[in-house]
Chains A and B, each alone.
Chain A
């Protein structure tokens, strides 16, 4: 029982990070129906911002988090402005290729600065407790709570504010929204800022939990977060959160009860099966064919 609880906690931590990154994919898809494949690498940039802020500026946690989020958000907005916006009317494939290219650029740019893995110095005091035989670390709880808080804030933003309403309007119909006075480009930029900013926050939290970072760290995590978003129903915000936790739980539980070599194999077979029965994802709406 304690074993199961411990593994459950592990799953929550991994799932929180997948969910935060998955939100970035889903927000952008929701508003542009485009998959921003550079998002995993923006997440990596977030971790490197955290490293620079801690190692060179010596900032404490909160300024580091804000700085990394703003830095990555700014980068996200610039990428949208200069790489994606000119292609908005182009075939969808061109936009996807551009996104992949931007991702590769970010990886190799970081690689050119330093190919060495870097260690993020400890930012927070890590305390450990044992509760009914389950080891709790303050870091783990902090990561889970902060991720949930960020997701809650995003949910508020999208559902309860004017900006959120504008985002939903564009997502609903991109041609009619501007006729109703919605400033499309500004809202799209803002959506990019929010989505990539969350990716940056995920990078910081990831860097706290796994403090050895390298330029390729965003590739696999990015793919897994993308899959989380698809499983939850891409374009749906609550779906992305659920998808992240599901993928985290499946991965950890496969390791817990099967030989760990089967982890990715079993996890992805389960996801394939899920998609066969619900191709639109858990919370996604079935796509209507336009004639």
Chain B
């Protein structure tokens, strides 16, 4: 008899606990996948810091109101170790184990792509702050936009066109050379669009050279580029590789200007480059010195919390959380599908990196780009390019 009683108690306990965990969560769970180790730890670190700042600010304000009830934010941070497979594994873990409502990150396209596949098939919103390759938000087979993948930055075709026009019109270059990492989606995509636009607009690409990730010697390619005598050299590569590329070019006697893409925009670049990168240009989502009131407030808060100027990854991560917060406020309930619908319908979001809204049925925001010039060891605002 006693034994049956015990069994009964056990069954009731299981039922009660099961019912509790099913009855809606008490917090908004947001997962972050960041490149904390691997080949771009500065990117992951910025992303993590901005995410923690955004969550702290939201929770200090009492949380976010969803359908009339306030919920605090709960943050789950995963390291993808700068690996594609670990990005997918991290997304899987966040979705199935932590049961997050939405994911922010990964940042680089080669990690965002695999994670976005998992998010899309699990019907969980994923906002990548920094992945600019068009493929990230498109279905690989049908080429239709993914339903659950969004981003906070502009896309490469836009950036490639802006840079090609900048080289032609502002730098008055007629002949351009390109050196890019052929093993990386981001670099390859942007290099191809640059070539297309540059040639269509009357310029000539005199060298289109490649290398593979982790190469350190570019002397063969740079000698070839020097031999082709370009007016400008385009390097759409990550910040850790740019210093070596520019230093080696200079050692070979190359003196023409270099132009890069938003992957240059880490403060680490300035540290690694010394004065070798002085006077060169790149396009990015925001310039800390040409900030709007919203951006100024974010920059001050970030400096207050971490003592450093936020880079574009930090600003875009913060905007990803901003987008998510705005979507949550208009969502009908705290549920993955409802969050997705609200996010897609955001009328206008005024973010740190400018105003943005999503194109009908697409996860790509419409927003402008800025050109930054490296001057006196700092990133200085140079020009704005509108869509």
Write the residues of chain A forming the contact surface with B, with a CB cutoff of 8 angstroms.
3, 6-7, 10-11, 13-14, 111, 115-117, 119, 122, 126, 128, 130, 135, 137, 139-140, 206, 209-212, 214, 216-217, 219-221, 251-252, 255-256, 259-261, 263-264
Asked if B385 is an interface residue, CB under 8 A from chain A, the answer is no
B240 surroundings in chain A (CB, below 8 A): 117, 212, 214
In the A-B complex, list the 5 residue pairs whose CB atoms are closest, starting with the nearest.
A255-B220, A10-B219, A115-B41, A210-B216, A135-B253
A263 surroundings in chain B (CB, below 8 A): 211, 220
Considering the chains assembled together, what is the distance between the CA atoms of A140 and B226 in angstroms? Answer: 18
Given known A251-B220, A256-B220, A261-B210, contact A115–B251 (CB-CB < 8 A): no
A255 surroundings in chain B (CB, below 8 A): 209, 220-221, 224
* Pairwise interchain contact B223-A260, C-beta atoms closer than 8 A: no
Asked if B36 is an interface residue, CB under 8 A from chain A, the answer is yes
Q: Which residue of A lies closest to B209 (CB)?
A: A260
* Pairwise interchain contact B251-A137, C-beta atoms closer than 8 A: yes
B251 surroundings in chain A (CB, below 8 A): 126, 128, 135, 137, 139-140
Name, among A211, A212, A221, A256, the residue most crowded by chain B CB atoms within 10 Å (CB to CB): A212
Q: Which residue of B lies closest to A6 (CB)?
A: B223
Write the residues of chain B forming the contact surface with A, with a CB cutoff of 8 angstroms.
36-39, 41-42, 182, 208-212, 214-217, 219-221, 223-224, 226-227, 240-241, 243-244, 247-248, 251-253, 268, 271-272, 274
Considering the chains assembled together, what is the distance between the CA atoms of A116 and B40 in angstroms? Answer: 7
A217 surroundings in chain B (CB, below 8 A): 214, 216
- Sample (25) of A-B pairs whose CB atoms are under 8 Å apart: A3-B223, A6-B223, A10-B217, A10-B220, A11-B220, A115-B38, A119-B243, A119-B271, A135-B253, A137-B251, A206-B216, A211-B247, A212-B240, A212-B241, A212-B244, A219-B214, A221-B216, A255-B209, A255-B220, A255-B221, A256-B223, A259-B208, A260-B211, A260-B220, A263-B211
* Pairwise interchain contact A259-B37, C-beta atoms closer than 8 A: no
B266 to chain A, nearest CB (A): 10
* Pairwise interchain contact A212-B243, C-beta atoms closer than 8 A: yes
Given known A260-B211, A261-B210, contact A111–B37 (CB-CB < 8 A): yes
User: Which of the residues A116, A140, A256 comes within 8 Å of B224, measured between beta carbons?
Assistant: A256
Name, among A216, A251, A255, the residue most crowded by chain B CB atoms within 10 Å (CB to CB): A255
Name, among B39, B42, B216, B224, the residue most crowded by chain A CB atoms within 10 Å (CB to CB): B216
* Pairwise interchain contact B37-A14, C-beta atoms closer than 8 A: no
User: Which of the residues B247, B252, B272 comes within 8 Å of A6, measured between beta carbons?
Assistant: B252
Considering the chains assembled together, what is the distance between the CA atoms of A256 and B207 in angstroms? Answer: 12
User: Which of the residues A13, A116, A251 comes within 8 Å of B41, measured between beta carbons?
Assistant: A116
User: Which of the residues A122, A220, A251 comes within 8 Å of B214, measured between beta carbons?
Assistant: A220
Q: Which residue of B lies closest to A126 (CB)?
A: B251
* Pairwise interchain contact A261-B182, C-beta atoms closer than 8 A: yes
A234 to chain B, nearest CB (A): 24
A175 to chain B, nearest CB (A): 42
* Pairwise interchain contact B39-A214, C-beta atoms closer than 8 A: yes
Considering the chains assembled together, what is the distance between the CA atoms of A115 and B248 in angstroms? Answer: 24
Name, among B38, B212, B221, B223, the residue most crowded by chain A CB atoms within 10 Å (CB to CB): B223
Given known A119-B271, A128-B253, contact A13–B219 (CB-CB < 8 A): yes
Q: For the A-B complex with A119-B243, A211-B244 known, give 17 more contacts whose Cβ atoms are closer than 8 Å.
A: A115-B37, A116-B268, A117-B39, A117-B272, A119-B274, A128-B253, A130-B253, A140-B251, A211-B243, A212-B216, A214-B240, A217-B214, A217-B216, A256-B224, A259-B208, A259-B210, A261-B210
A272 to chain B, nearest CB (A): 19
B212 surroundings in chain A (CB, below 8 A): 264
Considering the chains assembled together, what is the distance between the CA atoms of A261 and B182 in angstroms? Answer: 7
B55 to chain A, nearest CB (A): 23
A259 surroundings in chain B (CB, below 8 A): 208-210
B240 to chain A, nearest CB (A): 5
Considering the chains assembled together, what is the distance between the CA atoms of A104 and B291 in angstroms? Answer: 44
A30 to chain B, nearest CB (A): 28
Name, among A10, A117, A256, the residue most crowded by chain B CB atoms within 10 Å (CB to CB): A117
A260 surroundings in chain B (CB, below 8 A): 209-211, 220-221, 224
Considering the chains assembled together, what is the distance between the CA atoms of A255 and B36 in angstroms? Answer: 34
A61 to chain B, nearest CB (A): 18
B269 to chain A, nearest CB (A): 10
B268 to chain A, nearest CB (A): 7
Considering the chains assembled together, what is the distance between the CA atoms of A263 and B212 in angstroms? Answer: 10
* Pairwise interchain contact A14-B224, C-beta atoms closer than 8 A: no
